[in-house]
Amino acid sequence: MDKKLFFVFNPKAGKGQIREALIDIIDIFNKNGYEVIAYATQKARDAYEKTKEYESKVDMIVCSGGDGTLDEVVTAVMETGSNIRIGYIPAGSTNDFANSLFMPKSLTAMASNIMEEVLYRCDIGRFNRQSFAYVAAFGIFTDVSYQTAQDLKNFLGHAAYILEGMKRLFDIRHYHIKVESKEVNTEADFIYGMVTNSRSIGGFKHLTGKNIDMDDGLFEVTLIKYPTSPVEAQEIITALLTAEDNTDQIYSFKTSHIKLTCDEPLSWTLDGEFGGEHYVADIENRHKALNLLLRSTKEDEWKNMLM
């Protein structure tokens, strides 16, 4: 076999389902002419380190796990400046990125999909000096995904995020933030914010809107102001439940570049993982920077429905 493929996977992601399909996945890669170097991650940042180690030695990288595993691989590839093609087999508890791109639920079906080698050039984000695949967020609920135990995620799925988040409704912290973009310039107190390139966040679809393309060079931005009265709080809750922004308490817009400056260190999450504390978040859309191997006929159908 002349072609080499590095396959990095998280054996603990989701319910560990990758273990049952592992031999069949590698067999699919072998049958398509690839010599496979397989590696099971052992600790945090393992996928990142191993991707950097093997990127220049192989023809393709395929990762399997949750969105956090994908984030590590994408970050490593972007830092090296490589144009290597990436395949993703979603095996996490939520899989927002995969759901947004209508990837097959079956692990072996996705492996076969990757082997068709159809290239989809997807937007990704730059957050200061870091990269993210589909979401950068701060505020209430954003620390839920990395503070919720893996066993709880596996057992409860989306309910784990809801249960953990409900505890925090009674302890809402707000942040004074200056927002700068071509579309919106403002300064206010916010309890939540997200910059996304996804049709699904935390497993909930349409939270970021309905007219979304993941290769249009634009992010969807949602910023929720701190409510100063029960009426304002109710407006926010209603908007979130109906997925319709009919309140002045929420800023919702598209942009290719946004800068958020806080007067204190602000904790961010990138693709569901802790992204550090920052006074300034300079976030830019890297248009079609990710060479993703994906054949998605459902995406074409989805776009046609909107025309």
When comparing pLDDT for 235 and 158, which is higher?
235
Contacts of 65 (CB under 8 A, 6+ apart): 9, 10, 13, 18, 41, 47, 91, 92
The answer to whether 136 and 283 have CB atoms below 8 angstroms apart is yes
Strands 257-270 and 175-180: antiparallel
Distance of alpha carbon 1 from alpha carbon 52, whole angstroms? 23
Helix 46-54 / helix 67-80 crossing angle, nearest 10 deg = 40
Q: What is the pLDDT of residues 94-114, one digit of tens each?
A: 677 887 888 888 999 999 999
Q: What is the pLDDT of residues 139-188, one digit of tens each?
A: 875 654 444 444 444 444 544 544 454 445 445 788 999 999 999 999 99
278 confidence band (pLDDT: 50, 70, 90): very high
245 confidence band (pLDDT: 50, 70, 90): low
Residue 269 has pLDDT above 50, yes or no: yes
pLDDT, average across residues 222-231: 86
Rg (CA), the chain: 19
Residue 7 has pLDDT above 60, yes or no: yes
The answer to whether 218 and 254 have CB atoms below 8 angstroms apart is yes
pTM above 0.85, yes or no: no
Which pLDDT belongs to residue 99?
Answer: 79
pLDDT, average across residues 183-212: 76
Q: How many CA atoms lie within 13 A of 150 on its CB side?
A: 13
| 23-37, 78-92, 105-119, 189-203: least confident range | 189-203
Distance of alpha carbon 243 from alpha carbon 238, whole angstroms? 8
Which pLDDT belongs to residue 280?
Answer: 98
pLDDT, average across residues 247-269: 93
- Write out the two tokens for 197: 């390139």
Under CATH, which number does the domain 3-125+289-306 receive?
Answer: 3.40.50.10330
Highest mean pLDDT among 7-21, 54-68, 244-258, 290-304: 54-68
Which pLDDT belongs to residue 241?
Answer: 66
In degrees to the nearest 10, what's the CA dihedral of 123, 99, 67, 259?
A: 40
Beta bridge partners of 175: 190
Domain ranges of the chain: 3-125+289-306, 130-285
Under CATH, which number does the domain 130-285 receive?
Answer: 2.60.200.40
Which pLDDT belongs to residue 1?
Answer: 67
